A = this chain, B = another copy of it.
Amino acid sequence: MLRLTKKADYGLMALKYLAEQAFVAEHAGPNATGARSAKDIAEAYHIPPQLLAKILQTLARAGLLVSHAGTNGGYALARSAANISAFEVIRAIDGPLFITSCITIHGTCDLAGHCTIKEPLRKVNDSITDLLAGIKIADLIEPTDHLPAAMAGGLVSIER
């Protein structure tokens, strides 16, 4: 059920890494960008560099990252870490796929008409979306004992 692709997984990791870099850069000096090359990130987490590169490209195209080519180039967050949600990352990488086949592209599932379960499921889907949207990558940077904000406060409406 509900599987997150490894690519999205990698994407999240990379984002987190860049967020950390941005954080230290901010405290290091005014002209530090926090940019890192795809290779650097890949090495840090032991994931295939080429694959990560492609993921980062996708993320950049989606506007979540800014890229800079050439020597000493690399990627950096386009926005503040607290301003990028896990949902955006996932959607950028895996596409606007949702739990059922019918929700995104109207007409995919041939049982559209006589499906009685579609509407309720759409609500569930929305709930999950909201949940994910409420989680920012800044939330997953803390040192594990301090709960992420979205989770610490603890309540998320699933009404939509």
Contacts and interface: CB of A to CB of B under 8 A. Distances in A.
A123 B111 contact: no
Contacts of A152: 159
Most chain B beta-carbon neighbours within 10 Å: one of A4, A9, A98, A158: A158
Interface residues of A, number: 57
23 contacts: A2-B2, A2-B3, A2-B4, A2-B97, A2-B99, A3-B97, A6-B101, A13-B116, A44-B114, A45-B111, A86-B124, A116-B140, A117-B140, A120-B135, A120-B148, A121-B140, A123-B148, A124-B132, A124-B135, A127-B156, A131-B158, A151-B160, A155-B156
Contacts of A131: 124, 127-128, 131, 158
Interface of A: 1-6, 8-9, 12-13, 16-17, 44-47, 86, 90-91, 94-95, 97-101, 110-111, 114-117, 119-121, 123-124, 127-128, 131-132, 135, 139-140, 144, 147-148, 150-152, 154-160
